[in-house]
Amino acid sequence: MMSDHRVLGLVGMKEVSGIPECYGLHGIGQSGGVDLTSQSQVEKFDYATSMDLKSRGHDRPGPLVIERGGIKVYRPLLPFNKSRLIATCQREDMEWFEDHTNKDPSLTRRNAVRHIFRSATLPTALKPESMILLSERCKKRDRSLNSAAQKIFEESFLSSFNTRTGTLIIRFAHANHISSLNLSQTSADKGIIAALLLRQVVTFVTPDEHVHLYSLHGAVGKIFPEIVGQTSSETVSPTPFTVSGVRFQPLFPQRDKASCRYQKFEWQVSRQPHSSIPSARPLIVVPRSDHGKWSEWALYDGRFWIRVRNCSSFSVVVRPFHKDDMQNFKQTQAGRELLKNYAPELVRWTLPAIAIRDQNSRERVVALPTLDLTATGFERNVNWEVRYKSVDVDSLYARELCIVK
């Protein structure tokens, strides 16, 4: 409430969660294992691109392995209040530890609230029992809204999910589907459901660790203008936009002259083009290895886990591919066709590139690891392994592939 939270911000602490401070640490932060049984599901949603390349006579590698696992924190004692836990420890003659900083009301806002609960007489609505009941109601509402968003996601047409380029193509279900769900919805509820739907989609592609719902309000209006009281999406020309490090590009919107309405179109969801400021771009430096050892796994751009074995005589960097690299990136005809058809236009410049850096800090790209492309002559000098970040592959199991012609 103090932070102007609404329903989804008042559900309280989660029973299961990751460790925020361990983001980007391989084997701890949502990584360290792979679920090969899920690969067939990802391959199914890469079918459209695969067949498109096959029709041109070009092969290309299958989808990247997706990371799973990591360390989670479980909180089985959340249903019990502190006094009961202390009484249990005392009865069983068990020692426990309390962080002494929790008693300093000036240190954090949470400590200040604790101090108020201990020392002040509060109205009934703000007593712990009332707050717990409020949290339970919010949890119930949270489950209902998330369930509705998942239903809309399943009714939308996902034509491809490409782990090698970090792109997704989707045709959203009509806004009327949100309004027709069996819920006593307010306009605010509809907006939350749409934002939850977009967050689910954005999470597959974004470089950001977290996607906050409040950052998606503008995106809701661009994709579902009916929900925010604007003109129907069928009569408004869709335009590209970016949110949470992700670019939404409308694909082939066609307007019917008789009805002046736009036919159903798809959105290509991809990584937003990198900043023009060099210091703001992702960068991994891999020193030369005398013994052919692999580097540690590193999370590149919040999307790809990469490790490199550098057997060259120079240092190696992993950084964004850009237009200046094309001139010296020598490829076979098949490789050039693969790059042209698999990573066209702006998507190409969001891919990670492995470059050799000489003594004068000049760089030459020798590989595009996510496409499994190596510049001619460098096959033995630099090796790599790459995986895609942990995403909710399980949500794909509930749906069937719909290839939109």
Same domain, 356 and 383: yes
Same domain, 268 and 283: no
Within a domain: 13: no
Same domain, 211 and 346: no
Same domain, 251 and 337: no
Tokens of 11: 């559900």
From first to last of its 405 residues, the chain has per-residue pLDDT tens of: 445 456 667 777 888 988 888 999 999 999 998 866 666 556 655 544 443 434 334 456 788 999 999 999 999 998 888 889 999 999 999 999 888 888 888 888 888 877 887 787 778 777 777 777 888 888 888 888 999 898 889 888 888 899 999 999 998 887 666 655 555 566 778 889 999 999 999 999 999 999 999 899 899 989 988 787 656 555 567 889 999 999 999 987 655 555 455 556 789 999 999 998 989 999 999 888 767 789 999 999 999 999 999 888 888 999 999 988 988 887 777 778 888 888 887 899 999 999 998 888 889 999 999 999 888 776 678 889 999 999 988 777 655 544 333
**HEC string for 112-175:** HHHHHHHHCCCCHHHCHHHHHHHHHHHHHHHHHHHHHHHHHHHHCEEEEEECCCCEEEEECCCH
Same domain, 158 and 240: yes
In angstroms, the CA 153 to CA 193 distance is: 10
Residue matched to tokens 């919010």: 138
Name the 3-class secondary structure at 41.
Answer: helix
The DSSP symbol for 66 reads B
Contacts of 378 by beta carbon, 8 Å cutoff, 6+ apart: 312, 356, 366, 367
Within a domain: 14: no
Tokens of 12: 């309280």
Same domain, 86 and 176: no
For residue 376, what pLDDT is reported? Answer: 74
Same domain, 209 and 110: no
Contacts of 47 by beta carbon, 8 Å cutoff, 6+ apart: 160, 401, 403
For residue 1, what pLDDT is reported? Answer: 46
Examine the fold and report which residue of 272, 294, 318 is the final residue of a domain before the chain moves on. 272
Same domain, 245 and 362: no
The residue count for the chain: 405
In angstroms, the CA 334 to CA 371 distance is: 12
Within a domain: 98: yes
Task: Calculate the alpha carbon distances from 387 to 24, 285, 393 in Å.
Answer: 13, 18, 14
Within a domain: 359: yes
Same domain, 48 and 182: yes
CA atoms within 13 A on the CB side of 276: 0
Residue matched to tokens 């919107």: 253
- Host domain of residue 154: 38-64+135-272
Provide the phi-psi class of 148: left if phi over 0, else alpha when psi is between -120 and 50, else beta: alpha
pTM of the complete model: 0.84
The answer to whether residues 348 and 318 touch, using CB atoms and an 8 Å cutoff, is no
Within a domain: 405: no
Within a domain: 49: yes
Residue matched to tokens 């002040």: 120
**How many domains in the chain?**
3
Contacts of 218 by beta carbon, 8 Å cutoff, 6+ apart: 241, 243
Within a domain: 20: no
* Burial (CB count within 10 angstroms: exposed 0-12, middle 13-18, buried 19+), residue 234: middle
In angstroms, the CA 105 to CA 80 distance is: 23
Same domain, 108 and 149: no
Residue 331 is which amino acid?
A: Q
Same domain, 105 and 181: no
Examine the fold and report which residue of 254, 272, 290 is the final residue of a domain before the chain moves on. 272
Same domain, 56 and 156: yes
